[in-house]
Amino acid sequence: MAANALDRHLALVGFMGAGKSTIGPLLAERLGRPFVSIDAVLEERFGASVAELFERHGEAGFRKQEEEAAADVLARMPSAVIELGGGALGSETTRSALAAHAFTVHLEVTVDDAWRRVEGSGRPLAGDVEAFRALYEERRPLYGTADEAATDLDGVVLAAAGVRFGPHRELEATAVVADAHVAELHGVDALRTVPRGGAAKTVEEAERLWRGLTLDRSATLAAVGGGSTTDLVGFVAATYLRGIDWIAVPSTLVGQVDAAIGGKVGIDLPEGKNLVGAFHWPARTLIDTTLLTTLPEDERRNGLAEVVKTGLLLGEPLWESPTPVQVRSCAAFKSGVCLRDPYERGARAQLNLGHTFAHALEAASGYALTHGRAVALGLLAALRLSGLDDEARIVDDVLAPERVSVDRDAAWTALQRDKKARDGEIRLVLLDGPGQPHVTSEIAPARVREALDALIA
């Protein structure tokens, strides 16, 4: 079964009334993919509605046409969001084509909700409630062949990105590398442990893991810990034996809402943050929000900075929501952006709102400054340059960032080496308004330096 929808079609299956035709176009827009309804393909091909095709050819004849259309779309089109009819999985040929070309999500619905939505719609197989219920039960085993199941738009996006919510003890991996403190606190059976925080993201720690592992290419390496742990282990997995599978199990709020999602992994150098890294999408990201119950307050606030960032990008006050809602909403947002742009060639750049300044401050501090505190300051700078005083006040009120004592010239040098710079030009993510990010290199260096200096005590 496929692990995610990266470089594959994303196919929606489910019983009639599940909402495939409603969620499908929204999903396609979110992922930047075309939307294809197999029913619509058939209607255009034969110049008749699905109901008319049923009447002309009978269900068996229609299913044959549906099978041929699905096979054609799955084999020939670039990655798309594809909606299949409720009975499409009855074809072994279609199931095989989905396995070869798509990540398939079953959009779940109860039989009562399905009937309520389609009663009186004129659908060929929705005329009698008892026959409808019998058909629902008949098809349920077929939907179990899907790669994942979901009930709403965010759920489909999370499933497509390989993000699962569940107990961390359900983790299955060949070997586990864990933050030493997390391993002790939660009883994680780890093959290797690494230091807490940024001390893990070094060449020395990566080399220690490379030299200590004795795995083959079929192995799966798991990372249990905060963003630094998942960054390090993901990078080691990307480079060990030229790449093995890995699983991220983030134990911090910053990891669950941001760092462990999307496949960007790496280590730091004294000259800058994440200057050495790779794109290596995890086979799975397993999120257990109960791990957050032992999180110290300062670590929770670190993660809250990423929640505020995501809320500003979405134009929604996510920072006002309960923690489980924050985690799911932020994870779904980042998953969608990263599926749309897995290698940061376009839309994904928006996720760096505030991070150009944050990374410069972290590097200038010798990585003594926590990521969340740095992001809070970076958001202030980006919002001030965007002319959004109200949003800057939100950052002040929610995160209360304090200026830091670092060398101004060292911070400026690090900012100029930011990995998003092109041809020597500094590229910043700014906002035209809440939910309206854009990337620009048109801010004069003197203004950028002034905004950076304002963050330094």
The angle formed by the CA atoms of residues 178, 222 and 281, to the nearest 5 degrees, is 125
Segment 145-203, tens digit of pLDDT: 999 999 999 999 999 999 999 999 999 999 999 999 999 999 999 999 999 888 999 99
Give me 53's structure tokens: 């095709």
Q: What residues contact 61, with CB distance under 8 A and at least 6 apart?
A: 53
Number of Cβ within a 10 Å radius of residue 40: 14
pLDDT higher than threshold 80 for residue 1: no
DSSP three-state, residue 214: coil
Helix, strand, coil: what percent of the chain each, to 5?
A: 55, 15, 30
Residue 308 has a pLDDT of 98
DSSP three-state, residue 311: helix
pLDDT higher than threshold 90 for residue 424: no
- Average pLDDT value for the chain: 94
DSSP three-state, residue 282: coil
pLDDT higher than threshold 80 for residue 419: no
pLDDT category of residue 274 using cuts at 50, 70 and 90: confident
Classify each residue of 112-127 as buried b or exposed e, where b means 16 or more C-beta atoms within 10 Å of its C-beta. eebbeebeeeebeebe
pLDDT higher than threshold 80 for residue 3: yes
**DSSP codes joined into one string, 249-273:** EE-SHHIIIIITSSSEEEEEETTEE
Residue 123 has a pLDDT of 83
Average pLDDT, integer, range 27-45: 96
Rounded CA-CA distance 85/125 in Å is 12
DSSP label at residue 456:
B
Segment 53-104, tens digit of pLDDT: 988 998 889 999 999 999 999 998 789 999 999 999 999 999 999 999 999 9
Rounded CA-CA distance 392/385 in Å is 10
Q: In CATH terms, are 9-153 and 168-295 the same topology?
A: yes
Which segments within 146-186 are labelled E, that is strand? 148-150, 163-165, 175-179
Segment 323-360, tens digit of pLDDT: 999 999 999 999 999 999 999 898 999 999 999 999 99
pLDDT category of residue 294 using cuts at 50, 70 and 90: very high
Distances (CA, A) of 359 to 141, 299, 418: 50, 18, 8
pLDDT higher than threshold 80 for residue 422: no
Segment 231-249, tens digit of pLDDT: 999 999 999 999 999 999 9
pLDDT higher than threshold 80 for residue 291: yes
Segment 114-132, tens digit of pLDDT: 999 988 888 888 889 999 9
Rounded CA-CA distance 355/258 in Å is 13
Please answer whether residues 317 and 311 qualify as being in contact, where contact means their C-beta atoms are separated by less than 8 angstroms: yes
Using only C-alpha atoms, the chain has a radius of gyration, in whole angstroms, of 24
Number of Cβ within a 10 Å radius of residue 169: 10
Please answer whether residues 5 and 335 qualify as being in contact, where contact means their C-beta atoms are separated by less than 8 angstroms: no
Q: Which long-range contacts (CB under 8 A, 24 or more apart) does 409-413 make?
A: 410/363, 410/364, 411/360, 411/361, 411/363, 411/364, 411/452, 411/456, 412/360, 412/449, 412/452
Domain boundaries, the chain: 9-153, 168-295, 347-453
DSSP three-state, residue 41: helix
Top-level CATH class of 9-153? alpha beta
Query: CATH for 168-295?
Result: 3.40.50.1970
Residue 154 has a pLDDT of 98
Residue 180 has a pLDDT of 95
Please answer whether residues 375 and 306 qualify as being in contact, where contact means their C-beta atoms are separated by less than 8 angstroms: yes
Task: Classify domain 347-453 by CATH architecture.
Answer: Up-down Bundle (1.20)
Residue 48 has a pLDDT of 92
Which comes out higher in pLDDT, residue 288 or 367?
288
Residue 51 has a pLDDT of 87
Residue 418 has a pLDDT of 79
pLDDT higher than threshold 90 for residue 429: yes
Average pLDDT, integer, range 38-49: 94
Backbone angles phi, psi at 396, to 5 degrees: -60, -45
